Structure 1
């Protein structure tokens, strides 16, 4: 079988908004080196729900402002990253096309509940609260990190250093809850700025409207090491606060689809394809050994 497309066009409006932000570090069109060939597993294909087999496509909602997980490529339309690559490899194994489509992060689970998409795969951390809306097939581990202006002019070195500062985050993310919990130990409140995308949060920092950005570790590392953005941003430390598991969100009434995805992902882990793919995107540090379902950790653990 020929390899499935790595991504499809997102909405032109969202693409234009991200370009206008001017600070997002778009990932390269492809990671270095070809992906390992994966053949269709006929048993897994047959185990897919009948409607998926008939359609031949799984649609995936994604917020493409989080490289290297997912972002718009150089054409401003194609979604690239380790998530689209992992999704496409899953499609190869299952014998269906996996089609990533752009959508706002803070409405992803609502879109899933409304049957606008089959899945959500967008660096969504599995939490107990989110498990009230969807089941999660856990495929990656990451925590939150702090990004500041290059040179760290305010001397922010840890989470406590955000007290009394303005901090930008993407709306709807676990970083909102993290900062709300951190607030309890602050003598001066954190001025929290919730923005539509992580690119918007970074723009707040770059233009001096925020003192820091808190985001997941992989995009924090990416923006502070990418040659296009590293002169503007600095990672405070390698500390990852409140690490959790990313999950592919599946509607709770589609347990058959959830279980096939779990088995297929575990196959990729066992075969070494999963680790190879993450390593090519330089995020092998977030690999998991076992694919789990609904593995949310308690907040603050």
Structure 2
């Protein structure tokens, strides 16, 4: 699949791929003519840097297409997940584009536009020496995940439930990125990583690790994020671009190329690309 870069988009715009008549007017972005997005490029195949240091994956592909249709140049800030939501409020970027999980609590503080469905997996060492097939097999074992994310919160909840049932506690180790967690797995620091299903399949195909269990907790959507107070206009513009992509087949083509589950399969899908924001 061909990946679009910021320079490619800029050249396309000047060549007339998008005309002024097609461009939304007066979009409130932090830098005129640009769409600045935060991303954490540590999670292939959704978002990562290739051997040449170029940003690749589903999330940047989506961001590039959205920027093109809004007649903006895509700009990425590759930062840790923990600063991405605060960065919206401090106007460091216009939107979060890092595969952030939707949940109702987050929708109280930011505008969220779900766009793809996820599941989680347990990734283990090659040949699965512990015979991991599910959560119970992680009892008493060191388990890695990404700090403060949905997977981190979920595995801690599952661990608490198993301990209450008399099982040994997991030694849960939260890393700054899933990339760090997988590096720890390769080094023997942890015996399993609890993280995204798509990344598990990607690594298993390349022989780096093995998938102990997959398809866990299915139906969780990833979302773009926008500032709650100032992001209404931009969130609606991006949601409309996604609707147009669904209508013209671009969305289906892009999701299929990555083996991603389309948002239409989310149990709470309303029949339309929607914006979720329920401030208290």
Normalised to the residue count of structure 1, the TM-score between the two structures is 0.79
Q: Show CA shifts across 1:159-183 (max 9, x none).
A: 2211211100011211111111111
Picking from 75, 86, 94, the partner of 1:118 is 94
Matching of residue 45 in structure 1 with residue 9 in structure 2: no
1:206 aligns with 2:186: yes
Q: How many angstroms apart in 1 are the aligned matches of 2:237 and 2:42?
A: 28
Residue 195 of structure 1 pairs with residue 175 of structure 2: yes
What does residue 35 of structure 1 align with? none
CA shift at 1:54, angstroms? 7.3
Distance (Å, rounded) in 1 between the aligned partners of 2:131 and 2:75:
43
Q: Distance in 1 between matches of 2:106 and 2:180?
A: 24
Equivalent residue for 1:181?
157
State yes or no: 1:293 paired with 2:275: yes
User: Is structure 2 residue 45 aligned with structure 1 residue 68?
Assistant: yes
Shift of 1:53: 9.9
Give, in angstroms, the shift of residue 5 of structure 1.
Answer: 5.0
Q: Name the SS of the counterpart of 1:124 in structure 2.
A: strand
Partner of 1:170: 146
Shift of 1:48: 5.0
SS at match of 1:108: helix
* 255 and 114 in structure 1: CA distance in 2 versus 1, 3 angstrom threshold: same
Residue of structure 1 equivalent to 2:219: 243
Provide the rounded CA distance (Å) in 2 between the counterparts of 1:106 and 1:54. Answer: 23
Superimposed CA distance per residue, residues 102-158 of structure 1 (whole angstroms, 9 cap, x where no aligned partner) = 000122101112111111010100112222331111111102111000100001101
After superposition, the CA RMSD in angstroms is 2.4
1:4 to 1:74, Cα distance in 2 relative to 1, 3 A: closer
Q: CA deviation at 1:98?
A: 1.7
State the alpha-carbon separation in 2 of the partners of residues 41 and 191 from structure 1. 55
What does 1:6-21 correspond to in 2, within 5 Å? 6-7=5-6
Give the TM-score normalised by the residue count of structure 2.
0.85
Question: Number of aligned pairs?
Answer: 257
Which of 57, 61, 72 is equivalent to 1:96? 72
Structure 1: 4+ residue segments shifted above 6 A: none
Query: Structure 2: where are the runs of 5+ without partners?
Result: 8-15, 265-271
Q: Among residues 263, 266, 271, which one is paired with 2:248 in the alignment?
A: 271
Q: How does 1:121-140 map to 2 (within 5 A)?
A: 121-140=97-116
Residue 218 of structure 1 deviates from its aligned partner by 1.0
Mapped to 1, the partners of 2:87 and 2:74 lie a distance apart of: 17
The structure where strand makes up a greater share of residues is 2
